[in-house]
Amino acid sequence: MKSKILYIVAMCVLCVAAMTSCNEEEAFEYGDFCYDMVTYEGDNGDRSVFSYQAYDDSPLVTLTASNMNRPGMVKGQRLLLNYIVENDLGDNTKVVEVKGFSKVTTDTIEILPQAELDGFKSDEVKVKSVWRTGNYINVRCMLEYTEKPRRLFLATSGIPGEDGIVPMYQIQDLMGAQTFYWLETYLSYYIAPVWENEEVAGVRYNAVDLSWPEAKYYDFMKY
């Protein structure tokens, strides 16, 4: 497996304690501001294009904004986007003004042999929430801050059990680095290679979780 070595830095989460959508029934009141986890789809002329699904398999919403022209912004990058809707064009398409954003740690699920998965030992995390939006599993969690790089990824064998559920494992390896304090961050994993398999009925997110040790896993079913 090609190891993923990441530096986790303090991520500004746009001054919100939890992700909400403008379309969710239990959304917090932020006046005209909306906060969503979106995917950067690239630029179209002088406009930057983003897409998101508010929850599960809800309709895909497309947002367009003045070209952000941000160095290092690549298509497929997940973001926490703070914006105001300027014009609702219908058909789930909106023109927006971006007020701020923060990059989310974005990755694609790793499919590995079960024997290799069995050999991993993950360091602890504190899971705050886990939810699925389309082909993404999103995680709001606390990680221990370190000045050294770490390995951080989501892995699976891709093989469903008798119930049709595919286990996925949150792997974090601090590689023995000294830690200082807990830091809140967001992770977003593209799981289409597993989720779009017709033999898969659902996926199961597993983590070594200090926040809810009694919650052994989180299931997300197709039906």
pLDDT at 30: 55
Q: Give the least confident one: 67-81, 90-104, 106-120, 173-187.
A: 67-81
Instruction: Output the DSSP codes for 1-52.
Output: ----EE-------TT-SS---TT-TT----TTEEEEEEEEEEEETTEEEEEE
Q: How far is CA 8 from the centre of its chain?
A: 14
Let me know if 79 is exposed, middle or buried by CB neighbors in 10 A (0-12, 13-18, 19+): buried
Q: How far apart are the first and last CA of the chain?
A: 32
Question: Which option is the CATH number for 33-103: 3.30.390, 3.30.565, 2.40.50, 1.10.20?
Answer: 2.40.50
Q: What is the pLDDT of residues 126-148, one digit of tens each?
A: 999 999 999 999 999 999 999 99
b/e sequence 162-171, b meaning 16+ C-beta within 10 Å: eeebbbbbbb
pLDDT at 122: 94
pLDDT at 4: 53
Let me know if 156 is exposed, middle or buried by CB neighbors in 10 A (0-12, 13-18, 19+): buried
Q: How far is CA 83 from the centre of its chain?
A: 19
Residue 38 contacts residue 92 (beta carbons within 8 Å)? no
Every domain of the chain and the residues it spans:
33-103, 106-221
The fold adopted by the segment(s) 106-221 is Immunoglobulin-like (2.60.40)
For the chain, percent of residues with pLDDT exceeding 70: 86
Taking the C-alpha atoms of residue 133 and residue 123, their distance in angstroms, rounded to an integer, is: 26
**Confidence category of residue 90, pLDDT binned at 50, 70, 90:** very high
Taking the C-alpha atoms of residue 190 and residue 138, their distance in angstroms, rounded to an integer, is: 9
Q: What is the pLDDT of residues 20-47, one digit of tens each?
A: 345 443 344 456 899 999 999 999 999 9
Residue 11 or residue 199, greater confidence: 199
Task: Give me the chain's average pLDDT, please.
Answer: 88
Whether 11 shows a pLDDT value over 60: the answer reads no
**Confidence category of residue 214, pLDDT binned at 50, 70, 90:** confident
Whether 6 shows a pLDDT value over 80: the answer reads no
Instruction: Output the DSSP codes for 71-90.
Output: TT--TT-EEEEEEEEEEEEE
